[in-house]
Amino acid sequence: MKQNLLTRFTTGLVSSFFFLNLSLGADIKNTDNTQIKQDNDSHLKSVQEDNDKSADVYRNEIAFEIEKLKKIREEVEKKIKEDKKILQQIKQEREKLKQEREDFEKYIKQVENERYKKLAKVFEKMEPELAGEKISKIKNPKVAAYIIYNMKERKAGEVMNYVDPKMVNKIVKILTDLKNQKNK
């Protein structure tokens, strides 16, 4: 019986100790879990606050950069408008210069034609032999051809009889080209 009692006492003591441990361990575990949870919550809150601060900083930086880009865009658009105006002015000036050039070329042609007509009258008044000799000595066959072209046909034919044959070939070629251009 003593053994039985001792066994029971030991068993009871062990059981009590076990339950005590369990209850203390559960409290410790509950305390540890609660503390861990609070620590985790605190840490999460801190991380969230840091993230919120970082996000605010990034948002501010992004907003600042967007404003800078808007200003740059406005400047670029303004510059494009200015450049378009300048380009339009250049086009207008180019057209004006083109017209002036055409007018000047017409004037030069008119002056040349008047000059050739006057020379043709001078050569018509010369003896055909002397006129042919002078035309043969003209270095530019185009000038000679235009003089002949502006002469009266009968007088031009008489003068051509006395022009150097090599020069006659050049003059005839130029006169043929001139006639073809007029026909077009």
pTM exceeding 0.75 = no
Residue that has been written with the tokens 């305390």 in this structure: 31
Question: Does 112 have pLDDT greater than 50?
Answer: yes
170: number of Cβ within 10 Å: 16
pLDDT tens digit string along 50-90?
677 777 778 888 889 999 999 999 999 999 999 999 999 99
Q: Supply the pLDDT for residue 27.
A: 47
Structural contact between residues 153 and 120, judged by C-beta atoms closer than 8 angstroms = no
Mean pLDDT of the chain: 83
Tell me the C-alpha distance between 14 and 24, whole Å. Answer: 15
